[in-house]
Amino acid sequence: MTDGKVLHVGGFYGGTYEIEVDHGTFIARYGEVGSTSTLVNTGDEVQRGQMLAEFGELTGLNMSMLHLEMYGTTESPFVTPLTLRNGSGDKRFQRRTDLIDPTSSLDISTME
């Protein structure tokens, strides 16, 4: 979407990986990418339009897609994780309160 720095590359779910990128004014999580197709590493600087990875296939589901989350601040995901568990023992994923709608950013982004 825009230049940035890779904060984290690692396991997501269903046998896929995630790439978290600090884009300066927001953090993007690109999820469900292939664990063997990741082209960047934690700490790498990335450029607008650069390919980060290929889509992954969710184990047992025979489907691929890009899971995209955007967060409106650049508060470190290592201080406050992007995915939280609520305190009630509920196992469902909870997102940080700075989760934003990515539509306007996608409208101007470069996709291959």
pTM: 0.81
Segments of 12-49 assigned E as strands: 17-22, 27-33, 45-46
Closest to 29 (Cα-Cα) out of 58, 85, 72: 72
| Average pLDDT for 38-43 | 96
Closest to 3 (Cα-Cα) out of 62, 35, 47, 38: 47
DSSP codes, 86-99: -TTS--SEEE-TTE
* Residue 51 pLDDT: 93
| Average pLDDT for 31-56 | 93
Mark out the alpha helices in 4-107 (DSSP H runs).
103-107
Which CATH architecture does the domain made up of 4-106 adopt? Distorted Sandwich (2.70)
Name the residue ranges covered by the structural domains of the chain.
4-106
| Average pLDDT for 72-77 | 78
Q: What is the mean pLDDT of the chain?
A: 84
| Average pLDDT for 4-26 | 92
| Average pLDDT for 17-43 | 93
